[in-house]
């Protein structure tokens, strides 16, 4: 038996756990996890909850939302802004989140080139005229690789007490046959394949009514439209941008440089510390220290092994001269994290120029030991 | 002053400020915890719920949101997020609005301004908020028939009548604010829902709010915060920061975000925006990184203690949402693989939860977890423990250790200590942003509001400098530097206590240093008039017990003072010595770190300072200023809140004993959590009066209390609770005793800054600058004094608020007396930021709170033993 709803015998109300809206969002999240789209648009994004959930998916680089009501989007749009933590540790991927104010009955070039377009509980809110234009806009114009459309299944309504229509703004609620025939016809016309599923299982014995929410997953059959074909499409913008957030990313030179400089200094400080520890603890029982390390810090352990391995070359060895420690850039560059950030040694030199104190021949980082 | 003393005397920078519960908060908390906790077990640790589960809770750090969102004010054009509920309910009123103390003070009804001094042209970080002539905010009640439940639906139905109400509006579901008046007092309109139901909407005018009404002020602040958000500034705590242009200080793994504090209030003449530059120090280091690096620095067995010491009390910022938490505990028995029960009843491990909810990988599965006690309800979160994963938390602010790191503070100061010119430029930048952003301008225009583009300018006064009186000599000092250490060098002290019988304790390694100190003291003391015998020199092992044993064995009833030279700044030794000599064996003591004495070029200057400090600790007097007021007892009170263990608070209480204010009675009140501070203060005041009587053979006819350590929003408690208790206490002294009482709240942490205009440039105003116009509050008897001088950055004025006054003293006299008292702090031969009794009270409370943890022996109470 299905565990995702509870049936309370007395009232015969059906309560989904987790709530149905969350199940719908989770469905999309799982789909994103499976197909790893880079550009995702949510049509009818309302208070941006789905977009907010999707911004944590690391495959996504472009997120867009569209809604006919600007105020409902604005209500919580700021949660799509980068967080302090995003600035403190910029991530590898780039991410841009944009919210547009407009109608799914209108074409705007900003919606081109998407991998996934979601329309969660959208179509039932469309007026007849809008619904007519909708397939042409989404499947004909936007033409993403994948489209997900969800809508209430009216066959389930009798199980929801007192419900004939689930929301006053719904213009219609389709049964499975209606939805599927519309979907199949749309898929056929725009050369997509479609599969039907849903969320919100019916209670035992009522399986024949189908899912509470019916979902159609459309996949484009023909390959990606070429650039030239897209350029023929109208370029006139009709949507109004109400929000745009560009997340800090290491793809951006500024953030990358900051990250490199921090990492270089941190690495140099760690080397300096292990150098002075080494000098101080030469008489100490070595076994004791290694055992100590293994308990709490596996990562530090590999770190010191790395250091041992890496410093085999004589020229790469850090050395102390009076109050000053010289740590060759080559040594620092050989650390995996620095290496991964910069890629090449030349880039490393370029990034840290003027930001880190270097020896006169610019081959080593200079640190002062005086203040410790 | 030793390095330690200086570090301790320094205030905490505002960024580190932890929320101090208001004095009266105990009862509130009790009611909270006595509420049925619902189906959740009260001790069940939880992870913070995701944002989607708690609307409106984002970015709020301290403000509890007890009021349901629907009561809040929903403001048009995306203003919905911040609602009036944010300011109402149990949320703390940071600006102490509605506390009107001036009306009860008769002699300042007409004027509260002083008169002495020479005029000075000042500008300040305030901008006038102007509204159209005859501007008013119109408040309407909106009713629905049939009743509509959903707020969104109510809004949608109402907004169908845009032609009537217009685009500029604020609506929370029942209260509507408009910048215009509708034609009729009651307007009825009809809307139709999507499923064809007709609804009658009745819009009734309930209020016409003038620009100065409290509701309007809240409204302005909401709008302004919204404007800051439109400018893409990010809210952290109460302030807004610009994340796009951070200053990175990689040497210390710090990142500084420039930002602004802002508040709009009714000031003396007009409604103004006070805005100041604020810097948020963030650290690109997670708590786990920090633990690793600490692990490298300390011994294994001390590691957990060291973590607790460094981390508990710190504010951390979570990676996955914009929330800050205070670390209250570290659970070493738990790890990220432990599970917790979600709201829906299912069990999930932290690793899985963070992976699923935020796509955050926890790589170290053996790390302990942090516990944060959520004391008040925030959003949908109930009070109780919250579990945090060190790897997912960034450190914020500075630790005590960092603050004592001279190099770090120097590197930081380059970016945060802005000289006047630059500060003014940065402040101007905010107004620039506002003037240049079209959306912001449109919003302001629609509401009929605008800001002046220039900083407010006005005239202040610089009162005359004080003469420093020392044994028949009167010294003038350069008011620019507010320091007379050079002028008074070598002059005899007012009262010099002899060093006939004293101990000098040192470790073997510091033998030479001890000897040099002794020789230098022999050189500097004669001119001060201090008679000195050779100390009893005692060598000890460098262990705490060794020091204590020597003290036990060598102190006799004749011992004047014990001087200990410590080889390091390790706190435990210092604490043990102070504890023993302040409680069990009450004699004055002086601890000096050997390193302080080791530099030959400063040795004489240090010896001079130590001699002065020792003299004060033994009951000597250094200098005075002219105090014309007679029979007055001045009291200073400051609090120390133990942030580490969070257990007790200590109030330092210092009262003058003589006419020249050179001798002080000092006592402190130690109180556990939830206890009222004022009970202890009453006892302090009683003993102070008794001692005063012993010294003077009569009781003071005036008592002036300088009360420091009052947090934002606590003024009301002070006025309604503490002052009546003081009066009660005075009544209990005797039937005929009826002294005049003045209570002045001293506030160092204010956002107000003054710039002096001299020959086209902006400079810090000189010490002695008094401001009692324009930027003061009409409902208060308050003023600002700039008493100290700073070498770099902007000087911060101190705010004085006379909340109770039966003295009938002219404002000018109160201001002058206050400034005079800033000259009387014996640990610094210069003018300080607050009246000396406040600084003494601070020192006392700090020593007791940090080292002694219980009330010192009262035998010491007639000397400044804690300096």
Query: CB-based contact (8 Å) between A56 and chain B?
Result: yes
- Distance of alpha carbon A328 from alpha carbon A364, whole angstroms: 4
Kindly write down the DSSP assignment for every residue of B59-91, as one continuous string. Answer: T-SS----S-GGGSPPBTTT-TTS-GGGTSTTS
Query: CB-based contact (8 Å) between A261 and chain B?
Result: yes
Q: Which residues face A65 on adjacent strands? A: A42, A99
Sequence-separated contacts (24+) of B757-764 with Cβ below 8 Å: B757/B121, B757/B122, B757/B123, B757/B457, B761/B421, B762/B123, B762/B420, B762/B421, B762/B424, B763/B420, B764/B420, B764/B789, B764/B790, B764/B794, B764/B795
- The nearest alpha carbon in chain B to A262 belongs to B250
Contacts of A265 in chain B (CB under 8 A): 250-251
Question: Which band of pLDDT confidence, cut at 50, 70 and 90, is reported for residue B375?
Answer: low
Cβ(A96)–Cβ(A110) under 8 Å?
no
Q: Which residues face B461 on adjacent strands? A: B119, B770
> Among A58, A81, A266, whose Cβ lies nearest the Cβ of B253?
A266
Contact flag A56-B358 (C-beta cutoff 8 Å): yes
Neighbours of A330 (CB within 10 A): 15
- Distance of alpha carbon B67 from alpha carbon B86, whole angstroms: 8
Contact flag B77-A74 (C-beta cutoff 8 Å): yes
- Distance of alpha carbon A42 from alpha carbon A99, whole angstroms: 10
Structure tokens at B19: 């929320």
Contact flag B81-A78 (C-beta cutoff 8 Å): yes
Cβ(B260)–Cβ(B278) under 8 Å?
yes
Chain segment B542-551, per-residue pLDDT in tens = 999 999 999 9
Strands (E), B287-433: 315-318, 324-326, 329-331, 339-341, 347-349, 369-374, 384-388, 393-396
Contacts of B360 in chain A (CB under 8 A): 56
- What does the pLDDT average to over B190-212? 85
Contacts of B303 in chain A (CB under 8 A): 296
Structure tokens at B512: 């030479």
Cβ(B835)–Cβ(B748) under 8 Å?
no
Tell me, what's the pLDDT at B195?
A: 62
Catalytic site residue from B81, B86, B310, B708: B708
Query: Which of A24, A84, A256, A268 is the best mutation test for B, with the most CBs of B within 10 A?
Result: A84
- Distance of alpha carbon B409 from alpha carbon B417, whole angstroms: 10
Whether pLDDT at B2 is above 50:
no
Chain segment B250-267, per-residue pLDDT in tens = 888 888 889 999 889 999
Contacts of A83 in chain B (CB under 8 A): 319-322
HSE toward the beta carbon, residue B687, CA cutoff 13 A: 16
- Distance of alpha carbon A8 from alpha carbon B97, whole angstroms: 51
Looking only at the bridges linking them, the beta strands covering A116-120 and A146-152 are: parallel
Chain segment A254-300, per-residue pLDDT in tens = 889 888 888 888 888 888 877 776 665 554 444 444 444 434 443 44
Of A273-277, B82-86, B767-771, B816-820, least confident by mean pLDDT is B82-86
Contacts of B361 in chain A (CB under 8 A): none
Contact flag B193-A168 (C-beta cutoff 8 Å): yes
Cβ(A68)–Cβ(B71) under 8 Å?
no
Contacts of B317 in chain A (CB under 8 A): 84-85
Neighbours of B612 (CB within 10 A): 25
- What does the pLDDT average to over B128-140? 87
Contact flag A297-B76 (C-beta cutoff 8 Å): no
Chain segment B603-648, per-residue pLDDT in tens = 999 999 999 999 999 999 999 999 999 999 999 999 988 766 556 7
Tell me, what's the pLDDT at B43?
A: 43
Q: What 8-state DSSP symbol labels residue B161?
A: T
Contact flag B359-A89 (C-beta cutoff 8 Å): no
B799 is catalytic: no
Query: Tokens 């951070």 label which residue?
Result: B246
Contact flag A83-B322 (C-beta cutoff 8 Å): yes
Of A144-153, A217-226, A229-238, least confident by mean pLDDT is A229-238
Q: What percent of chain A has pLDDT over 70?
A: 81
Tell me, what's the pLDDT at A13?
A: 63
Tell me, what's the pLDDT at A302?
A: 42
pLDDT, greater one: B481 or B29:
B481
- Which residues have C-beta within 8 Å of that of residue B584, sequence separation ≥ 6? B857
User: What angle do the packed helices B511-528 and B603-617 form, to 10 degrees?
Assistant: 70
Whether pLDDT at B58 is above 50:
no
Nearest partner of B811 among B469, B480, B463, B459, judged by Cα: B463
- Distance of alpha carbon B815 from alpha carbon A76, whole angstroms: 49
Tell me, what's the pLDDT at A280?
A: 59
Give B324→chain A minimum CA distance, Å: 11
Whether pLDDT at B735 is above 90:
no
Give A352→chain B minimum CA distance, Å: 11
Per the rule left: phi > 0, alpha: psi between -120 and 50, beta: everything else, B713 is left
**ipTM of this model?**
0.74
> Among B246, B359, B394, whose Cβ lies nearest the Cβ of A85?
B394
Whether pLDDT at B714 is above 90:
no
Query: Tokens 């919204």 label which residue?
Result: B226
> Among B80, B229, B319, whose Cβ lies nearest the Cβ of A85?
B319
Chain segment B377-391, per-residue pLDDT in tens = 555 556 678 899 999
Average pLDDT, chain B: 83
Whether pLDDT at B233 is above 80:
yes
Provide the whole-model pTM. Answer: 0.77
Tell me, what's the pLDDT at B421?
A: 92
Please name the residues between 203 and 222 in chain A that touch chain B, using a CB distance below 8 Å. Answer: none
Contacts of B322 in chain A (CB under 8 A): 83-84
Whether pLDDT at A5 is above 80:
no
- Distance of alpha carbon B26 from alpha carbon B32, whole angstroms: 10
Whether pLDDT at B326 is above 70:
yes
- The nearest alpha carbon in chain A to B167 belongs to A71
Cβ(B760)–Cβ(B421) under 8 Å?
no
Contact flag A71-B344 (C-beta cutoff 8 Å): no
Using alpha carbons only, give the angle B121, B125, B131 rounded to the nearest 5 degrees. 105
Nearest partner of A244 among A99, A363, A347, judged by Cα: A99
Tell me, what's the pLDDT at B402?
A: 80
Tell me, what's the pLDDT at B70?
A: 32
- The nearest alpha carbon in chain B to A170 belongs to B194
Nearest partner of A300 among B292, B252, B390, judged by Cα: B292
- Distance of alpha carbon B537 from alpha carbon B502, whole angstroms: 9
Contacts of B282 in chain A (CB under 8 A): 84, 88
B421 is catalytic: no
Contact flag B243-A58 (C-beta cutoff 8 Å): no
Most confident of A294-298, B305-309, B682-686: B682-686
- What does the pLDDT average to over A347-369? 83
Query: CB-based contact (8 Å) between A277 and chain B?
Result: yes
Whether pLDDT at B651 is above 80:
yes
- The nearest alpha carbon in chain B to A16 belongs to B344
Query: Tokens 């909106």 label which residue?
Result: B142
B53 is catalytic: no
At B430 the three-state DSSP class reads helix
- The nearest alpha carbon in chain B to A270 belongs to B293
What domains does chain A contain, in order, with CATH numbers? 20-246 (3.40.50.150), 253-282+312-368 (1.10.10)
- Which residues have C-beta within 8 Å of that of residue B527, sequence separation ≥ 6? B490, B491, B492
Neighbours of B461 (CB within 10 A): 22
Contact flag B80-A299 (C-beta cutoff 8 Å): no
Nearest partner of A41 among A122, A130, A128, judged by Cα: A122
Neighbours of B628 (CB within 10 A): 9
Tell me, what's the pLDDT at A290?
A: 41
Length of chain B: 867
- Distance of alpha carbon A130 from alpha carbon B539, whole angstroms: 94
Using alpha carbons only, give the angle B450, B453, B459 rounded to the nearest 5 degrees. 115
Tell me, what's the pLDDT at B383?
A: 65
- What does the pLDDT average to over A115-119? 96
> Among B77, B296, B364, whose Cβ lies nearest the Cβ of A273?
B296
Question: Which band of pLDDT confidence, cut at 50, 70 and 90, is reported for residue B494?
Answer: very high
- The nearest alpha carbon in chain B to A260 belongs to B250
- Distance of alpha carbon A230 from alpha carbon A228, whole angstroms: 5
- What does the pLDDT average to over A48-66? 93
Q: Which residues face A91 on adjacent strands? A: A249
Contacts of B316 in chain A (CB under 8 A): none
Contact flag A258-B80 (C-beta cutoff 8 Å): no
pLDDT, greater one: B349 or B382:
B349
At B294 the three-state DSSP class reads helix
Using alpha carbons only, give the angle B483, B487, B489 rounded to the nearest 5 degrees. 110
- What does the pLDDT average to over B739-762? 92
- Which residues have C-beta within 8 Å of that of residue B806, sequence separation ≥ 6? B740, B741, B742
- Distance of alpha carbon B636 from alpha carbon B709, whole angstroms: 10
Chain segment A288-329, per-residue pLDDT in tens = 444 444 344 434 444 444 454 444 445 567 777 777 888 888
Catalytic site residue from B426, B437, B446, B676: B676
Give B182→chain A minimum CA distance, Å: 23
Query: CB-based contact (8 Å) between A30 and chain B?
Result: no
Tell me, what's the pLDDT at B634?
A: 97
Contacts of A370 in chain B (CB under 8 A): none
**Chains A, B: CB contacts under 8 A, how many?**
104
Query: Tokens 């009860």 label which residue?
Result: B104
Contacts of B51 in chain A (CB under 8 A): 52, 79
Tell me, what's the pLDDT at A270?
A: 81
- The nearest alpha carbon in chain B to A69 belongs to B156
Question: Which band of pLDDT confidence, cut at 50, 70 and 90, is reported for residue B59?
Answer: very low
Please name the residues between 79 and 118 in chain A that touch chain B, using a CB distance below 8 Å. Answer: 79, 81-85, 87-89
Nearest partner of B642 among B621, B661, B665, B670, judged by Cα: B670
- Distance of alpha carbon B508 from alpha carbon B506, whole angstroms: 7
Please name the residues between 321 and 350 in chain A that touch chain B, using a CB distance below 8 Å. Answer: none
Most confident of A305-309, B319-323, B589-593: B589-593
B842 is catalytic: yes
Query: CB-based contact (8 Å) between A165 and chain B?
Result: yes
Whether pLDDT at B535 is above 70:
yes
**What ranges in chain A are assigned the alpha helix state H?**
20-35, 49-54, 70-76, 84-88, 128-135, 176-190, 227-231, 253-280, 286-296, 298-310, 329-333, 336-342, 345-352
Whether pLDDT at B328 is above 70:
yes
Contacts of A89 in chain B (CB under 8 A): 284, 319
Contact flag A296-B284 (C-beta cutoff 8 Å): no
Structure tokens at B739: 């002294």
Contact flag B58-A299 (C-beta cutoff 8 Å): no
Tell me, what's the pLDDT at B106?
A: 92
- Distance of alpha carbon B378 from alpha carbon B322, whole angstroms: 14
Tell me, what's the pLDDT at A169?
A: 80
Tell me, what's the pLDDT at A233?
A: 60
Order across the sheet with B664-671: list the strands: B664-671, B649-656, B632-641, B702-707, B740-747, B798-805, B781-786, B769-771, B456-462, B118-124, B754-758, B761-763
> Among B78, B243, B407, whose Cβ lies nearest the Cβ of A71?
B78
């Amino acid at each position: 038996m299905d565990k995702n709803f509870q049936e309370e015998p007395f009232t015969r109300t059906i309560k989904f756990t987790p709530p149905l809206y969350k199940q719908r969002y989770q469905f999309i999240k799982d789909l994103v996890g499976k197909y790893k789209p880079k550009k995702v648009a949510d049509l009818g994004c309302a208070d941006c909850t789905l977009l907010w959930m999707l911004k944590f998916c690391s495959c996504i680089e472009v997120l867009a939302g569209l809604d006919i009501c600007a105020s409902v989007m604005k209500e919580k749009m700021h949660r799509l802004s980068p967080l302090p933590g995003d600035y403190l540790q910029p991530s590898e991927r780039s991410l841009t989140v944009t919210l547009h104010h407009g109608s799914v009955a209108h074409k705007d070039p900003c919606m081109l080139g998407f991998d996934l377009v979601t329309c969660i509980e959208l179509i039932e809110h469309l007026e007849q005229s809008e619904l007519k234009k909708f397939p042409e806009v989404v499947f004909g114009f936007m033409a993403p690789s994948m489209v997900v459309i969800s809508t209430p299944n009216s066959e389930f309504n009798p199980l929801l007490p007192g419900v004939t229509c689930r929301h006053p703004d719904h213009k219609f609620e389709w049964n499975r046959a209606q939805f599927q025939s519309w979907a199949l016809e749309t898929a056929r016309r725009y050369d997509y394949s479609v599969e039907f599923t849903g969320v919100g299982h019916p209670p035992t014995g009522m399986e024949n009514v189908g899912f509470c929410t019916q979902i159609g997953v459309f996949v484009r059959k023909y390959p990606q439209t070429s650039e030239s074909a897209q350029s023929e499409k109208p370029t006139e913008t009709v949507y109004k941008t109400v929000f745009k957030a560009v997340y800090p990313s290491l793809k951006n030179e500024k953030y990358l440089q900051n990250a490199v400089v921090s990492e270089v200094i941190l690495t140099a400080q760690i080397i300096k510390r292990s150098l002075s520890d080494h000098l101080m603890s030469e008489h100490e029982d070595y076994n004791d220290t290694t055992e100590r390390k293994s308990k709490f810090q596996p990562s530090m352990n590999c770190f010191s092994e790395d250091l041992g391995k890496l410093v085999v070359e004589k020229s790469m060895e850090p050395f102390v001269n009076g109050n000053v420690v010289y740590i060759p850039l080559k040594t620092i560059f050989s650390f995996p994290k620095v290496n991964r950030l910069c890629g090449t040694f030349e880039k490393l030199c370029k990034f840290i120029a003027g930001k880190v104190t270097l020896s006169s021949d610019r081959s080593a980082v200079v640190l002062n030991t005086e203040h410790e | 002053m030793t390095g330690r003393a200086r570090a301790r005397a320094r205030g905490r920078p505002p960024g580190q400020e932890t929320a101090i519960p208001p004095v009266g908060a105990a009862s509130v908390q009790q009611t909270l915890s006595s509420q049925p906790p619902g189906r959740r077990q009260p001790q069940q640790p939880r992870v913070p719920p995701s944002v989607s589960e708690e609307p409106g809770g984002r970015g709020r750090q301290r403000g509890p949101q007890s009021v349901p969102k629907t009561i809040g004010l929903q403001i048009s054009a995306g203003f919905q997020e911040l609602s009036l509920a944010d300011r109402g309910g149990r949320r703390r009123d940071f600006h102490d609005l509605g506390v009107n103390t001036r009306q009860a003070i008769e002699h300042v009804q007409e004027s509260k301004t002083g008169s002495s001094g020479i005029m000075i042209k000042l500008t300040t970080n305030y901008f006038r908020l102007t509204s159209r002539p005859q501007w008013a905010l119109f408040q309407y009640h909106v009713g629905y028939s049939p009743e509509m439940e959903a707020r969104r639906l109510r809004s949608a139905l109402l907004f169908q009548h845009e032609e009537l109400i217009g685009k500029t509006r604020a609506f929370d579901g029942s209260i509507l604010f408009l910048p215009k008046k509708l034609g009729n007092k009651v307007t009825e309109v009809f809307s139709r829902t999507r499923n064809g139901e007709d609804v009658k909407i009745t819009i009734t005018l309930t209020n016409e709010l003038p620009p100065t009404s409290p509701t309007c002020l809240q409204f302005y602040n909401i709008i302004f915060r919204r404007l800051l958000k439109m400018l893409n500034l990010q809210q952290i705590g109460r302030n807004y920061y610009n994340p796009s242009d951070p200053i990175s200080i990689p040497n210390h793994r710090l990142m500084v975000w420039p930002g602004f504090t802002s508040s709009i209030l009714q000031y003396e003449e007009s409604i103004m925006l006070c805005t100041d530059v604020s810097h948020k120090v963030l650290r690109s280091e997670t708590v786990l990184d920090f633990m690793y690096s600490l692990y490298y620095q300390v011994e294994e067995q001390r590691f957990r203690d060291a973590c607790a010491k460094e981390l508990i009390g710190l504010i951390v910022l979570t990676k996955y949402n914009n929330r800050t938490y205070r670390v209250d505990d570290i659970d070493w028995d738990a790890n990220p693989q432990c599970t917790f029960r979600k709201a829906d009843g299912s069990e999930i491990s932290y690793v899985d939860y963070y992976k699923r909810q935020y796509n955050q990988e926890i790589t170290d599965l053996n790390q302990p977890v942090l516990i944060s006690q959520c004391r008040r309800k925030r959003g949908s979160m109930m009070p109780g423990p919250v579990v945090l994963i060190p790897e997912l938390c960034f450190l914020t602010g500075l630790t005590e250790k960092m603050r004592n790191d001279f190099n770090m503070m120097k590197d930081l100061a380059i970016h945060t200590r802005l000289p006047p010119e630059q500060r003014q430029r940065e402040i101007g930048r905010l107004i620039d942003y506002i003037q240049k952003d079209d959306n912001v301008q449109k919003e302001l225009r629609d509401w009929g509001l605008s800001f002046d583009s220039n900083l407010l300018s006005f005239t202040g006064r610089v009162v005359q400098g004080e003469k420093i009186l020392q044994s028949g000599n009167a010294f003038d000092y350069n008011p620019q530097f507010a320091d007379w250490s050079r002028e008074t060098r070598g002059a005899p002290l007012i009262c010099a206590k002899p060093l006939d019988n004293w101990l000098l304790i040192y470790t073997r390694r510091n033998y030479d240093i001890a000897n040099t100190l002794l020789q230098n003291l022999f050189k500097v003391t004669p001119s001060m008039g201090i008679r000195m015998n050779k100390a009893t020199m005692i060598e000890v092992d460098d262990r705490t017990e060794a020091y204590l044993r020597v003290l036990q064995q060598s102190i006799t009833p004749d011992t004047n003072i014990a001087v200990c030279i410590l080889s390091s700044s390790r706190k435990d030794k210092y604490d043990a010595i102070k504890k023993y000599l302040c409680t069990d064996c009450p004699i004055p003591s002086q601890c000096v770190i050997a390193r302080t004495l080791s530099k030959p070029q400063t040795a004489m200057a240090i010896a001079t300072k130590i001699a002065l400090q020792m003299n004060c600790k033994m009951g000597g007097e250094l200098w005075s200023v002219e105090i014309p007021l007679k029979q007055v007892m001045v009291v200073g009170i400051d609090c120390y809140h133990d942030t580490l263990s969070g257990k007790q608070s200590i109030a330092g209480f210092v009262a003058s004993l003589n006419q020249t204010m050179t001798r002080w009675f000092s006592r402190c009140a130690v109180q556990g959590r939830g206890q009222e501070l004022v009970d202890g203060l009453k006892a302090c005041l009683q003993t102070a009066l008794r001692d005063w009587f012993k010294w003077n053979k009569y009781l003071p006819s005036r008592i002036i209390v300088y009360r420091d350590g009052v947090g934002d929003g606590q003024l009301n408690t002070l006025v309604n609770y503490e002052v009546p208790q003081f009066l009660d206490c005075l009544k209990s002294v005797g039937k005929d005793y009826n002294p005049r009482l003045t209570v002045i709240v001293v506030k160092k942490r204010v956002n107000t800054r003054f710039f002096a205009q001299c020959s086209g440039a902006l400079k810090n105003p000189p010490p002695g600058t008094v401001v009692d116009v324009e930027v003061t509050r009409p409902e208060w008897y308050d003023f600002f004094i700039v008493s100290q001088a700073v070498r770099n950055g902007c000087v911060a004025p101190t705010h004085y608020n006379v909340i109770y006054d039966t003295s009938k003293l002219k404002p000018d006299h109160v201001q002058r007396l206050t400034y005079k008292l800033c000259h009387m702090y014996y640990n610094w031969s210069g003018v300080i930021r607050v009246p000396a009794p406040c600084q003494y009270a601070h020192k006392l409370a700090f020593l007791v709170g940090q080292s002694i943890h219980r009330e010192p022996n009262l035998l010491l109470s007639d000397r400044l033993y804690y300096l």
